[in-house]
């Protein structure tokens, strides 16, 4: 016999049927005034939200139950979605009273929306100055199709990139959710594992489904009009993304008006490591925006401007003309303080046009959104007046794109009250005189209430009961309430309906007659307002594309004025942009660090000069805390700022266009992927050497520090040679290092120059001068820095003693007490000989650092070097090792 099927109540049967249709979601099931969850969902939200877990009878079984009042949805929903859950909201789609009268045991319910981390319109979930992207990815051999959208703004783009470019694109978008094929569930690519991933059925990516769903949505025969017809691999990604958004939103996505091709080649390449290390939009320490470039450059007045500014920072330009147009516009606003201040005042009054029109288009809106849209459009007239005389090419272009949409403004203004209520169901959103039928119903409702007040006064007077009241509830409608003190005075024609502890409730035929007129008028009035609002919403939604174009123009103008405001406040200068291979900065400053110094502490500016003919690689030495890292990062940030069209913190700056910025900064493990600090460092170094060009800028802050001294020195030495000698990767490079031995490279290679960050020693303490000067440093001042950090005096003094012995070519580590060991050594002498041998290798034919053919003898030499640990060798072992290396070389 088969297993007997459990009996379920009608409500629970309906719940599980709906739940089965929406796998992978938490189902919020509307029951009266509550959203309820059952079974596993109940256990989950009880834990996540701290809600009491109870049980509900389900055909004899006790099913776990947890829920919250419907009005608390805005509080609980964001908490679930921010933790990565997909939430399906199931509403009652018919009135319970209507269902009851029809003899139905249960009301109709259906899922009206699925909210996910990447697909939401909720203001509670969205950061108003940050895009909320969802990305879909499709692999086809060595090419990746990528589609992305911010449904809250209507942006929808796609791209085709190589596998090596995918990480940079994902880092640029910083998606809240990533869609990939279900078949990849057990083999998620490493670069996506840190993202919130949703797996989509494989068939959605197959065949021409993607192309068909796109053309159906845009109502076109092809995608040629969008310039994306040939991006066939990306069609699969874009189609799956549109499919997912339609499935979750359960409504028209009419605000997705255009599909555009994101051309990665138009922008400077910034890999994930560089974006993190330069702290462009996210701090490495806290993950927030404090201490980031965006925190300094964001003086935008609008939400659209704030979002666009982040895109500009993450996508520096490579075309000189476009950069110059931005700089010209910024320059005009920097010089005209009055114009800039007036513009900022007007932009402050502009709402989030992108998200307003998106909510209006999909129907998740209210009268306040429409009013805000109208008031924001009203600001356009003043903005156009302010910028109307501009000579800037970019600002002129912006002015042309700013449409007034007078008809839309007048339609909304003529319909809505000045301060409409938040809910449409409450009524009262339309002005008197807007609609005759509505005015008539309102008059009846108002007079009805007046009649009821008159009835109340008359009944109280006739019965001699001054405390008589008339109330209302959904059960009885209008009723008369008399306290027990006066119930003996109640007239005979009062019909008793309810007895309470301290009073009695009655009705009269006259009261019921007035009630019928009043209630029907109020209900009809609210129904009519709902219909009129929907009609107005649909009218405004027809202008979605125009509003989006206005929003884009406003965002650009806001970014330009933000750059101008920041430049004025912080004394930035306009950089000179050209196609030459020179980066020449006079008295450059770090834009973030100069703002975080304690009051009265000056930032020490520095000059940087790099070119491809003489000063290609600057080898920068100096102790920790001297400021090497700041100089490296500041150079990268100044180049990036110039290429986003922003003024820079310097006395003067000439920037030859850079195609890529690479950074290898600091040490970090990736233990989750089984990668040590040194392996991460080598991965980053390999990425740089495999992708750099002569137009690139490379910032190396220590290479080889994650392994033994001689291994690290050898790698750093070889890497420097490679960057100098390989024409195809001979990029402009700043190399900060503690390996003083690398200073000897200047004598061997014409484009390597030594610099150091100045310090002074006084009374055993080191004073940091923060000044970059020509020449190499020969001292690390590590012990002095350790002293500043607060190491015990006994440790500091012992370290000085050991250092002194090392520098005198002997090592005496005898200790008082315990009669410890005594050993003398000539380690430093041996180390010098090994270093000279490394130099000798520089005269041999050059070998590539990664993946090239290597002579067997050289390979043996390298293997022996790798196996050796000079820090643990005795002097005899070091000399024997050196002899063996010499034999191999010969």
Answer for the pair 155, 258: CB distance below 8 angstroms, yes or no. Answer: no
Q: What does the alpha-carbon distance between residue 613 and residue 750 come to, in Å, rounded to a whole number?
A: 9
Report whether 628 belongs to an annotated binding site: yes
Three-state secondary-structure class, residue 857: helix
Residue-wise burial string across 219-254, b where 16 or more C-beta atoms lie within 10 A, e elsewhere: eeeebeebebeebbbbbbbbbbbbbbbeebbeeebb
Q: What does the alpha-carbon distance between residue 559 and residue 329 come to, in Å, rounded to a whole number?
A: 10
Q: State how far Cα 232 lies from the chain centre.
A: 28
The structure tokens listed for 346 are 């007007």
Report whether 622 belongs to an annotated binding site: yes
Distances (CA, A) of 220 to 212, 231, 253, 261: 10, 16, 15, 17
> What does residue 36 show for φ and ψ, rounded to 5 degrees?
-110, 150
Q: What does the alpha-carbon distance between residue 662 and residue 275 come to, in Å, rounded to a whole number?
A: 9
Report whether 624 belongs to an annotated binding site: yes
Answer for the pair 736, 702: CB distance below 8 angstroms, yes or no. Answer: yes
Cα 854–Cα 855–Cα 856 angle in degrees, nearest 5: 110
Contacts 24+ apart (CB under 8 A), 408-413: 408/373, 408/374, 408/377, 408/540, 408/543, 409/374, 409/377, 409/378, 411/536, 411/539, 411/540, 412/370, 412/371, 412/373, 412/374, 412/536, 412/540, 413/374
> What does residue 605 show for φ and ψ, rounded to 5 degrees?
-75, 160
Report whether 625 belongs to an annotated binding site: yes
Report whether 555 belongs to an annotated binding site: no
Cα 812–Cα 818–Cα 824 angle in degrees, nearest 5: 15
Q: Tell which residue, 373, 390, 692, 711, has the closest CA to residue 548.
A: 373
Q: Tell which residue, 636, 635, 641, 654, has the closest CA to residue 570.
A: 641
Answer for the pair 632, 593: CB distance below 8 angstroms, yes or no. Answer: no
Q: Tell which residue, 136, 152, 128, has the closest CA to residue 195.
A: 136
The structure tokens listed for 506 are 């009655």
The structure tokens listed for 602 are 């000056």
Report whether 629 belongs to an annotated binding site: yes
Report whether 268 belongs to an annotated binding site: no
Tracing tokens 């998200």 back to the chain, one arrives at 355
Contacts 24+ apart (CB under 8 A), 497-501: none
Q: What does the alpha-carbon distance between residue 41 and residue 39 come to, in Å, rounded to a whole number?
A: 6
Q: What does the alpha-carbon distance between residue 665 and residue 705 come to, in Å, rounded to a whole number?
A: 11
| Per-position DSSP letters for 236-259, written without gaps between them | HHHHHHHHHHHHHH-S--TT----
Distances (CA, A) of 321 to 180, 317, 324, 327: 38, 10, 5, 10
Contacts 24+ apart (CB under 8 A), 527-532: 528/435, 528/437, 528/438, 528/441, 529/424, 529/427, 529/428, 529/429, 529/430, 529/438, 530/424, 530/425, 532/415, 532/430, 532/434, 532/435, 532/438
Report whether 627 belongs to an annotated binding site: yes
Q: What does the alpha-carbon distance between residue 444 and residue 454 come to, in Å, rounded to a whole number?
A: 15
The structure tokens listed for 781 are 């001042």
Burial label for 786, CB within 10 Å (0-12, 13-18, 19+), is: middle
Q: State how far Cα 807 lies from the chain centre.
A: 51
In 648-743, where do the E strands start and end?
652-656, 660-665, 697-701, 732-736
Known binding-site residue numbers for ATP: 622-629
Known binding-site residue numbers: 622-629
């Amino acid at each position: 016999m088969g297993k007997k099927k459990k009996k379920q109540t009608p409500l629970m049967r309906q719940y599980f049927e709906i739940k089965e249709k929406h796998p992978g979601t938490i189902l919020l099931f509307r029951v009266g005034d509550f959203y309820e969850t059952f079974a596993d969902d109940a256990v989950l939200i009880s834990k996540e939200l701290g809600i009491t877990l109870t049980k509900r009878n389900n055909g004899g079984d006790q099913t776990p139950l947890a829920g919250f009042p419907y009005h608390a949805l805005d509080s609980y929903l964001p908490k679930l979605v921010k933790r990565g859950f997909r939430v399906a909201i199931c509403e009652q789609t018919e009135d319970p009273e209507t269902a009851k009268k029809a003899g139905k045991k249960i009301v109709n319910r259906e899922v009206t929306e699925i909210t996910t981390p990447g697909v939401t319109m909720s203001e509670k979930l969205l950061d108003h100055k940050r895009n909320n992207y969802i990305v879909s990815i499709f692999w086809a051999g060595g090419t990746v199709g990528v589609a992305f959208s911010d449904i809250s703004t209507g942006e929808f783009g796609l791209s085709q990139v190589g596998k090596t470019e995918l990480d940079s694109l994902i880092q640029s978008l910083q998606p809240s959710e990533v869609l990939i094929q279900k078949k990849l569930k057990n083999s998620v690519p490493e670069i996506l594992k840190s993202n919130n991933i949703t797996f989509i059925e494989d068939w959605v990516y197959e065949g021409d489904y993607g192309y068909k769903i796109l053309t159906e949505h845009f109502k076109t025969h092809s995608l040629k009009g969008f310039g994306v017809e040939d991006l066939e691999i990306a069609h699969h990604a874009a189609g799956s993304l549109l499919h997912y958004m339609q499935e979750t939103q359960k409504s028209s996505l009419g605000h997705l008006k255009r599909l555009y091709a994101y051309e990665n080649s138009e922008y400077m390449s910034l890999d994930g490591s560089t974006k993190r290390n330069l702290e462009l939009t996210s701090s490495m320490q806290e993950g927030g925006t404090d201490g980031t470039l965006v925190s300094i450059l964001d003086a935008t007045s609008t939400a659209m401007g704030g979002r666009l500014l982040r895109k500009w920072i993450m996508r520096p330009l490579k075309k000189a003309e476009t950069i110059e147009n931005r700089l010209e516009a910024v320059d005009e606003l920097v010089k005209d303080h009055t114009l800039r201040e007036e513009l900022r005042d007007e932009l402050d009054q502009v709402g989030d046009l992108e998200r307003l029109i998106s909510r209006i288009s999909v129907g998740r809106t209210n009268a306040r959104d429409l009013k805000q849209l109208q008031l924001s459009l009203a600001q356009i007239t003043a903005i156009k007046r302010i910028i109307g005389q501009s000579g800037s090419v970019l600002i002129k272009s912006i002015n042309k794109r700013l449409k007034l949409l007078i008809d839309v403004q007048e339609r909304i203004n003529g319909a809505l009250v000045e301060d409409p209520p938040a809910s449409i169901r409450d009524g009262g959103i339309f002005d008197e005189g807007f609609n005759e039928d509505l005015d008539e119903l309102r008059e009846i409702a108002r007079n009805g209430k007046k009649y009821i007040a008159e009835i109340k006064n008359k009944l109280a007077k006739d019965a001699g009961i001054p405390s008589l009241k008339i109330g209302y509830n959904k059960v009885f409608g209008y009723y008369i309430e008399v306290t027990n003190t006066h119930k003996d005075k109640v007239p005979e024609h009062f019909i008793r309906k309810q007895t309470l502890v301290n009073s009695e409730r009655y009705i009269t035929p006259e009261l019921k007659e007035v009630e019928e007129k009043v209630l029907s008028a109020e209900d009809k009035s609210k129904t009519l307002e709902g219909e009129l609002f929907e009609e107005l919403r649909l009218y405004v939604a027809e202008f979605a594309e125009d509003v989006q174009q206005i929003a884009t123009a406003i965002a650009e103008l806001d970014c330009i004025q933000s750059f101008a405001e920041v430049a004025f406040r912080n004394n930035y200068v306009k950089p000179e942009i050209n196609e030459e291979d020179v980066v020449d900065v006079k008295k450059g400053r770090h834009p973030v660090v100069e703002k975080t110094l304690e009051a009265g502490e000056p930032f020490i500016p520095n000059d940087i000069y790099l070119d491809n003919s003489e000063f290609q690689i600057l080898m920068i030495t100096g102790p920790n805390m001297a400021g090497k890292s700041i100089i490296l990062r500041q150079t990268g940030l100044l180049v990036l700022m110039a290429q986003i069209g922003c003024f820079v913190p310097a006395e003067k700056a000439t920037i030859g266009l850079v195609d890529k910025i690479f950074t290898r900064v600091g040490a970090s493990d990736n233990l989750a992927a089984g990668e040590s600090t040194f392996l991460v460092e080598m991965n980053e170094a390999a990425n740089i050497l495999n992708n750099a060009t002569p137009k690139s800028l490379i910032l190396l802050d220590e290479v080889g520090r994650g392994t033994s001294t001689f291994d690290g020195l050898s790698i750093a030495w070889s890497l420097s040679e490679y960057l100098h000698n390989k024409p195809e990767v001979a990029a402009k490079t700043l190399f900060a290092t503690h390996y003083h031995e690398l200073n000897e490279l200047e004598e061997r290679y014409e484009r390597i120059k030594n610099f150091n960050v100045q310090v002074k020693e006084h009374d055993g303490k080191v004073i940091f001068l923060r000044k970059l000067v020509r020449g190499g440093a020969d001292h690390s001042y590590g012990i002095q820095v350790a002293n500043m950090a607060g190491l015990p005096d006994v440790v500091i003094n012992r370290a000085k003693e050991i250092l002194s012995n090392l520098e005198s070519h002997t090592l005496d580590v005898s200790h008082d007490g315990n009669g410890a060991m005594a050993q003398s050594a000539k380690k430093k002498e041996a180390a010098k000989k090994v270093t000279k041998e490394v130099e000798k290798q520089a005269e041999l034919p050059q070998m590539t650092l990664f993946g090239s053919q290597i002579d067997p003898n050289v390979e043996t030499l390298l293997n022996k070097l790798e196996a050796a640990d000079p820090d643990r060798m005795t002097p005899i072992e070091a000399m024997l090792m050196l002899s063996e290396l010499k034999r191999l070389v010969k």
